[in-house]
């Protein structure tokens, strides 16, 4: 028996919606468990880091990408391949420093907030999607790229776009291994 071609897209949409709703329930529970937004943000980052260190293997296996030669190639790979593969969106990338080690991923649409209208006033410092920062940081560390990843702007806080800042912490090294 053959399946109709629209069936896979329908299943993907249902899976994505289920993920987004589950994520919202997770954040809501963390907000109940922790009084301070900083504690919730830390917990989300830690969870994301754990996901990132495991997700990189899946990403490398499924994407068949080649080694990135620069930080700009790495930032483009995160935006154009990883975000598209796992979240179905492609953020734009901008370089924020002359040194070439600071980049921003600018999301016009953030799928994790599809069912969130705004943050409550008492949760003004909550970084709702901080899980993404942890995922990126964890994945980068597994390929030996230490980075600081933070939200610079957030639509849930009234900003025009959602912007994730990535600062690579070490200078790129050209290592030549002897055989």
Q: For residue 9, is pLDDT > 90?
A: no
Cα(36)–Cα(119) distance, integer angstroms: 14
Q: For residue 165, is pLDDT > 80?
A: yes
| pLDDT confidence tier of residue 7, bands split at 50, 70 and 90 | low
pTM for this entry: 0.87
pLDDT in tens, 41-71: 999 999 999 999 999 999 999 998 999 999 9
Cα(177)–Cα(123) distance, integer angstroms: 50
**Please, what are the domains in the chain?**
37-116+126-168 (3.30.1380.20)
Structural contact between residues 27 and 44, judged by C-beta atoms closer than 8 angstroms: yes
Cα(71)–Cα(102) distance, integer angstroms: 8
User: 149: phi > 0 → left, psi -120 to 50 → alpha, else beta; which?
Assistant: beta
Strand partners, 56: none
State the DSSP H helix or E strand holding residue 149, giving kind and residue range, or none if neither.
strand 147-153
């Amino acid at each position: 028996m053959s399946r109709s071609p629209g069936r896979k897209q329908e299943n993907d949409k249902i899976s994505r919606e289920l993920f987004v709703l589950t994520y919202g329930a997770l954040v809501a529970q963390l907000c109940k468990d922790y009084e301070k937004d900083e504690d919730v943000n830390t917990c989300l980052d830690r969870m994301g880091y754990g996901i990132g260190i495991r997700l990189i293997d899946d990403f490398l296996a499924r994407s068949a990408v080649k080694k990135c030669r620069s930080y700009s190639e790495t930032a483009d790979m995160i935006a154009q391949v990883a975000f598209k593969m796992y979240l179905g969106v492609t953020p734009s990338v901008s370089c924020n420093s002359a040194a070439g080690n600071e980049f921003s991923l600018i999301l016009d649409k953030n799928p994790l907030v599809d069912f969130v209208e705004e943050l409550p006033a008492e949760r003004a410092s909550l970084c709702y999607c901080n899980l993404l920062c942890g995922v990126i940081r964890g994945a980068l560390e597994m390929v030996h790229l230490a980075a600081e990843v933070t939200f610079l702007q957030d639509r849930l806080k009234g900003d025009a776009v959602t912007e994730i800042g990535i600062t690579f912490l070490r200078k790129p090294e050209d290592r030549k291994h002897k055989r």
